[in-house]
Amino acid sequence: HLLPSRREQRERAEEKEALSSGHGEFGDAAGFMPEHGAAVKEAPEEPQIRELDPPQSRLLEGLEVPGLPEHAVAVAERLHSARSAGEVLALGARAVEAVRVETDSAQRARRLGQLAMSLQLLAKQATGSKRLPILRDKRLPPMLTTLGDHMPGTEVWVLPAAMSGLARLGALGSGNALASSAAMAADTLVRVAKDRLDDLSPAQTSLVLASLAVSAELSASKVGLALQQKLVSTLELRCQELPPKSAATLVPALVKLRSSGGVQLAKGVAQCIVQGEALPVNEIASAAAGLQALRSTPPKLLEMADRAVHHQVHLCTPRAVVQLAAALCEGGSDNDTFKDYLMPAARSFLLDFGPRDLCTLAESFAKASAAETDFIADLADTLQSKVRDMGAHEVSVALLIFSPVSYAVPELIPAISQQLKSLVDELSPKQLARVLRGLNACNVADAPLFEALRRRASQLSHVFFGTHAVSALVAFAEAEQVDIGTVRTLGETILRHLDRLSAQDYIVVLTTVSRLPADMRLVSLPQSFLEELLQALRQRGYGDWRLDPEAVLHLLEALRHLRVEDEVLLELVCDRLPAALQKSKTSLLLMVGLLESLGDLPSRSRAQVAAHLHRRRKLQSALKD
């Protein structure tokens, strides 16, 4: 008589089923079930609406399976409810056994799709300390082998999902026993994708292309390269058919493929993205940052990003906050978006940011003119504990961006300078130029460090742009860390790129060279250096630089120090000097320096200036005003 009756058992089973359907298989509602033997109060029956086909956007969160058939939705739901990587691997092992004995093609395709989705979920969980245990699990190689063996004859929707899972898992470069199984599966997947390219939908095609971009091993073979080119050509023709979500997912791949068709696809993909008004904020952030890197960001996408920040900033991941800041700082978003939304979100994620994230945030806020000193100091303080993880790019940005707050974190700049010594040989030309400017901004006077940087400048001189050589020469001169070899190398580089430099660059070089010791100029610079530089400036004499009094002042000072009398340049300067003085808000100190430079010119040049003063009333009026 202590056992529950059949009616009570049936009522408890129905209530448990209702709770499970409302809260999921592992919902917390199971903890509120009545105890064994307790009476259950009957409630009046109410009509219940059960969602038979849950929306895939909610169901497949973390899974990318375009074209998923209805008969495989239950499999995806079961995988999505798995609580751990071990449970996913166990389900995958059972799917492998089922594929071996399955005779029905539809059921086999469903099991293979389960394996493909399992790889995607495992890739999502294989981060940090969990990565090695997952890649070393003995159940993973049979999953890859089974996919490779049965892929040629299965349904087409399994192929993109399998390639995406294999690429994101990173098993090809694992360097263990898993790599051989992954390599065999990858070869089969690529060949099948090439043969069945016409059967893929635009969304599936974009997922295959994204997989090739993520994994260099997939596209390393001749077949992979040919497939990549065909995918780009196909998407060029069918880009307008891409769903907004698939287009947003494709953008990071286009950044990696910028030299292999990514740039030419960017515009069409951007138009597809702006049609999706209901995209999540994290996908909008990824798309906006990627298209910004490709220089193809439509204004409507920036409006979408700004609106998403205002309404969904609480849903942003740390990476999305960085991406939104980097994209909106280039798009001219107002300061309120940065100060009222992105700044509080960034403060809440400070400990989650890596060195590159911190540097990107600081640089983005500075570009947007929204960099508050306290916020930049907080970023610098967080970066101090992560200096050892900084690379060449982070160092080149940090020295410039955090120099104004170096007083608040006094140990940061010395630590970055020490880290820089181990990264000198990794600096690119642009990074080297930025590092030199940053060291000068921070007043770093480390002779061994500058010696290593001079060696690096000599090594990179053959790949320098003209602007890089100009920046390096100016920085070394300002730091008083120049030698004959460096000046000669940079001078020759500047002459090679003379036609590509602007008039302002010519003036900067003349000013820098004029401040070098005379004996160093004679020994280090080519004999024709000054004459070629002056001739190039004469040819660019009708530019906007003549309307900049500061540029004119630097030019006159350089001519005076070099003891050069150039009637053509002086005529060009005096001709536009009245307009320069009237248009710009020239300070009194700048005016005094300009008059002093005109008065210190050699006698023949002074006579030329005097003739201008007496002949042109506009110049007299401008000086009086």
Q: Is residue 441 part of a domain?
A: no
pLDDT band at 35 (very low <50, low <70, confident <90, very high): very low
pLDDT in tens, 76-135: 888 888 888 888 899 989 999 998 888 888 888 888 888 888 888 888 888 778 888 888
552 is a domain residue: yes
Give the per-residue SS3 of 306-329.
Answer: HHHHHHHHHHCCHHHHHHHHHHHH
Q: Is the pLDDT of residue 262 over 50?
A: yes
In a domain, 564, yes or no: yes
Domain annotation covers residue 194: no
pLDDT band, very low/low/confident/very high, at 13 (cuts 50, 70, 90): low
Q: Which domain holds residue 556?
A: 500-624
187-234: per-residue pLDDT in tens?
888 899 889 888 999 999 999 998 888 887 787 778 888 888 898 888
| Sign of the CA dihedral with 69 first, then 72, 77, and 79 last | negative
CA 359 to CA 364: how far, in whole Å? 8
Question: Residue 26 above 70 pLDDT?
Answer: no
Tell me what the pLDDT averaged over the chain comes to. Answer: 82
The upper half-sphere exposure of residue 69, i.e. CA atoms within 13 Å in the direction of its Cβ, equals 14
Cα torsion 59, 65, 67, 69: sign: negative
Lowest mean pLDDT: which of 148-162, 168-182, 560-574? 168-182
According to the model, what pLDDT value does residue 52 have?
37
Q: Computed over its alpha carbons, how large is the radius of gyration of the chain?
A: 33
Among residues 196, 189, 199, 26, the alpha carbon closest in space to that of 116 is found at 189
Q: State the average pLDDT over residues 227-246.
A: 88
**327, 305 contact by CB (below 8 A):** yes
Residues 6+ apart with CB under 8 A from 108: 99, 102, 150, 154
Q: Is the pLDDT of residue 17 over 70?
A: no
> What's the confidence (pLDDT) of residue 56?
40
At 100 the pLDDT is 86
Asked if residue 119 is part of any domain, the answer here is no
Place of tokens 């320096």: 593
Secondary structure (DSSP) of 360-403: HHHHHHHHTT---HHHHHHHHHHHHTTGGG--HHHHHHHHHHSG
Q: Between residues 177 and 45, which one has the greater pLDDT?
A: 177
More confident residue, 376 or 240: 376
Q: What percent of the chain has pLDDT over 70?
A: 85
Q: For position 469, what pLDDT does the model report?
A: 92
State residue 548's pLDDT score: 81
> What is the DSSP secondary structure assignment for residue 161, as one 8-state letter?
H
Per-residue confidence (pLDDT) for residue 21, from 0 to 100? 44
List, for residues 329-366, the tens digit of each pLDDT value. Answer: 887 677 889 999 999 999 999 999 999 999 999 999 99
In the prediction, which pLDDT does 12 show? 59
- State how many domains the chain has: 2
Residue 506 scores a pLDDT above 70: yes
In the predicted structure, residue 320 carries a pLDDT above the cut 90:
yes
Q: What are phi and psi of 59, to 5 degrees?
A: -70, -40
Q: Which of 19-33, 358-372, 583-597 has the highest mean pLDDT?
A: 358-372
Higher pLDDT, 136 or 613: 136
pLDDT tens by residue, 423-436: 999 999 999 999 99
Q: How confident is the model at residue 36 (pLDDT cuts 50, 70, 90)?
A: very low
- Cβ-contact 621, 582 below 8 angstroms: no
Exposed (0-12), middle (13-18) or buried (19+): which is 42, by Cβ within 10 Å?
Answer: exposed
What mean pLDDT do residues 439-462 have?
91
pLDDT grade, residue 51 (50/70/90)? very low
What is the spatial distance between Cα 41 and Cα 437, in angstroms, rounded to a whole number?
77
pLDDT at residue 53 tops 50: no
pLDDT band at 172 (very low <50, low <70, confident <90, very high): low
Residue 453 belongs to some domain of the structure: no
**Residues 467, 488: contact at Cβ < 8 Å?**
no
The whole-number pLDDT of residue 40 equals 44
| pLDDT band, very low/low/confident/very high, at 59 (cuts 50, 70, 90) | very low
Sort residue 158 into left (φ over 0), alpha (ψ -120 to 50) or beta: alpha
Q: Is residue 608 part of a domain?
A: yes
For position 8, what pLDDT does the model report? 58
- What is the dihedral sign for C-alpha 13, 19, 25, 28? negative
Q: What gap in Å lies between CA 541 and CA 531, rounded to an integer? A: 15
Model-level pTM? Answer: 0.78
422 within some domain: no
Q: C-alpha distances in angstroms, 408 versus 252, 344, 380?
A: 36, 20, 9
pLDDT score recorded for residue 427: 93
